[in-house]
């Protein structure tokens, strides 16, 4: 079946997001190896690198299942779990490296939330992709940008700028990933019907913008 212009843009932006993700991931692993060799603290770089490696797998799944192959819904549920674990890695990294006085409170809360979502989803048989479970997972998703905004408030100078930009970048990327066309059709079909093409490519464009901000911030403000 011929693609609409919105679907064509969606594919293009998915590919761009993959390129950006691989670029960020490669840069992070390179800086991690360099810092380890120099004997400097590289834990933040490693945590970010693991997060983006998992993001690459997630984006590859979405791109493949949207345009190239027919995927079992079970794999979609697994990808949601991987997404939540990747976010847990980021929250743990921030508390392990930056917010060391927190005693991993946010990580523990995050872990409890993930377990609760998984248990409820499995017991009820609702899964994690349809309401209300998809709405419950949003609390987990948006915690990461909020954590960076919190860091920005507590910091000053360049640390404040980079924390704020990271928060904006992750907010765009996570909002785009959360409100993909497939999810929006389940959550708000009437909204999607207003402009089907826009909601095909708009969320993926948001992912690209977010990844671009993250790449810019890391290159400019991190040694």
Asked if residue 130 has pLDDT above 60, the reply is: no
Asked if residue 132 has pLDDT above 70, the reply is: no
The predicted structure's pLDDT at residue 127: 58
Band of residue 3 on the pLDDT scale cut at 50, 70, 90: confident
The predicted structure's pLDDT at residue 112: 83
- Separation of alpha carbons 78 and 76, rounded Å: 5
Q: Which residue has the tokens 């690459």?
A: 56
DSSP track, 161-193: HHHHHHHHHHHHHHHHHHT-HHHHHHH-HHHHH
Band of residue 30 on the pLDDT scale cut at 50, 70, 90: very high
Task: Please state, rounded to an integer, the average pLDDT across all residues of the chain.
Answer: 85
From the number of C-beta atoms within 10 Å of its C-beta (0-12, 13-18, 19+), residue 223 rates as exposed
Cα–Cα separations (whole angstroms), residue 166 to 23, 60, 144, 160: 16, 23, 10, 10
Between 103 and 4, residue with greater pLDDT? 4
Among 32-41, 112-121, 156-165, the range scoring the smallest mean pLDDT is: 112-121
Band of residue 171 on the pLDDT scale cut at 50, 70, 90: very high
Would you list the domain boundaries of the chain?
5-218
DSSP track, 52-89: HHHHHHHHHHHHHHHHT----HHHHHHHHHHHHHHHHH
Best CA proximity match to 117, nearest among 96, 97, 135: 135
- Model's pTM, two decimal places? 0.89
Asked if residue 222 has pLDDT above 80, the reply is: no
Examine residue 132 and say whether the peptide bond preceding it is cis (omega within 30 degrees of 0): yes
Q: Give 77-105 pLDDT, tens digit per residue.
A: 777 788 888 888 988 998 888 888 878 88
């Amino acid at each position: 079946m011929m693609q609409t212009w919105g679907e064509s843009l969606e594919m293009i932006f998915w590919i761009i997001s993959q390129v950006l993700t691989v670029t960020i991931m490669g840069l992070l692993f390179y800086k991690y190896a360099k810092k380890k060799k120099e004997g400097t603290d590289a834990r933040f770089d490693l945590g970010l690198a693991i997060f983006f490696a998992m993001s690459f797998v997630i984006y590859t799944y979405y791109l493949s299942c949207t345009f190239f192959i027919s995927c079992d819904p079970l794999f979609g549920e697994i990808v949601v779990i991987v997404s939540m674990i990747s976010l847990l890695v980021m929250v743990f990294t921030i508390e392990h490296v930056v917010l060391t006085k927190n005693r991993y409170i946010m990580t523990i809360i995050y872990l409890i939330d993930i377990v609760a979502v998984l248990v409820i989803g499995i017991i009820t048989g609702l899964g994690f992709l349809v309401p209300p479970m998809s709405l419950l997972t949003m609390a987990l998703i948006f915690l990461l940008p909020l954590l960076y905004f919190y860091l920005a408030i507590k910091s000053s100078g360049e640390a404040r700028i980079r924390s704020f930009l990271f928060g904006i970048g992750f907010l765009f990327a996570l909002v785009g990933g959360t409100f993909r066309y497939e999810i929006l059709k389940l959550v708000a079909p009437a909204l999607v019907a207003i402009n089907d093409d826009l909601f095909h490519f708009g969320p993926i464009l948001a992912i690209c913008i977010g990844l671009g901000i993250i790449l810019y911030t890391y290159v400019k403000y991190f040694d």
